[in-house]
Amino acid sequence: MGADNPQERLDKKWIVGFVDGEGCFHVAINQQHKMTIGWQVLPELRVVQHKRDRQVLERMRKTLNVGVVRVNNKDRLELRVRKLSELNYIVTFFEKHPLMTTKHQNFILFKKIILAMNEKKHLTRDGLTEIAKIAAKMNRKVRSRYLESSETIRQTRST
């Protein structure tokens, strides 16, 4: 295996090391009026690289058989995985080949959300609140617009 064989699959442990360095597990909860519940849960795994390293993102995509390679920002590309079926594979993959950095703790929270979504919890108000609370612990504890929305606060108070 070498940097000069762009067709070759990547070693799985290499992928774990690279995601430990460059990957990001993220869950957005966005207002979405088209949906019955009014909010959409959007989990994703993203690996960003300068466009000069497109081949390595393509090889990751090919090796894991998930995601799309697309423009991230200016000279940057990303491998992005968003489909729930593919994220289930990602969960299985990183359970089998654990992350070595503290990103592992983030992954554990991410996995809880994916499992909850498999059970369609994101489509109920209680399930969504549960997911939002987990998501709020991830990624430097970004405040959850969903949890802060007056509607949710009202609902939480009344239960």
Q: How many angstroms separate the CA atoms of 87 and 157, rounded?
A: 33
Q: What token pair was written down for 90?
A: 């990602």
- The alpha carbon of 32 is separated from its chain's Cα centroid by a whole number of angstroms, namely 19
Residue 32 Cβ vs its own copies, minimum distance, rounded to whole Å: 33
Contact 27, 39 (CB under 8 A): no
Residue 143 Cβ vs its own copies, minimum distance, rounded to whole Å: 21
Phi, then psi, of 102 in degrees rounded to 5: -65, -10
119 touching its own copies, by CB under 8 A: no
Out of 98, 115, 153, 156, the residue judged to bind its own copies by CB under 8 A: 98
Give 41 or 67: the residue with its C-beta nearer to its own copies.
Answer: 67
93 touching its own copies, by CB under 8 A: no
63 touching its own copies, by CB under 8 A: no
